[in-house]
Structure 1
């Protein structure tokens, strides 16, 4: 079974353009990783300035390797200080699991 994660980012309004550009770069690079089954950044329809990251990974090893990539560190540098509060991470599991 794969590992599904969603992360909600509440972005400082005047940093939204910079953050969405950084997410586009991160998504493009991450989708090339072998264990990345899905990696999409989406804008919330209900909440202005909220970016939702939707991830699906083959396994924990794939996540661990992803977090060690240089472009992940670059992304984190680009978005430093761009959030109103810490990102809200949801690691998901099926209801009947």
Structure 2
């Protein structure tokens, strides 16, 4: 069974454009990873400064490998200080589980 994760990021208004660009770069690179089944960033229609990351991974080792990629460190450096509050992470499981 794959691992699904959704992360909500509330971005400071003056950092929205550069943060959205950084997410685009991160998504493009991550989608090339073997264990990344889905990695998409979305803008909330209800909350202008919220970006939602939707991820699906083959397994936990794929996530761990992803976190070690140099472009992840580059992304984290680019978005440092861009959030209103820490990201809100949802690691999902089926209701029946």
Give the TM-score normalised by the residue count of structure 2.
Answer: 0.99
Count residues in correspondence.
97
Q: Give me the whole-angstrom Cα distance separating, in 1, the residues matched to 2:25 and 2:89.
A: 20
Show the counterpart of 1:95: 95
Deviation at 1:48, TM superposition (A): 1.2
Show the counterpart of 1:82: 82
The Cα RMSD (Å) is 0.3
In structure 1, list runs of 5 or more residues that go unmatched. none
Show the counterpart of 1:5: 5
Q: How does 1:32-43 map to 2 (within 5 A)?
A: 32-43=32-43
SS at match of 1:29: helix
Deviation at 1:26, TM superposition (A): 0.1
Q: Give me the whole-angstrom Cα distance separating, in 1, the residues matched to 2:59 and 2:9.
A: 23
Q: Give me the whole-angstrom Cα distance separating, in 2, the residues matched to 1:5 and 1:68.
A: 18
Q: Give me the whole-angstrom Cα distance separating, in 1, the residues matched to 2:72 and 2:21.
A: 14
Show the counterpart of 1:58: 58
Q: Give me the whole-angstrom Cα distance separating, in 2, the residues matched to 1:77 and 1:26.
A: 12
Q: Give me the whole-angstrom Cα distance separating, in 1, the residues matched to 2:40 and 2:21.
A: 13
Q: Give me the whole-angstrom Cα distance separating, in 2, the residues matched to 1:48 and 1:25.
A: 20
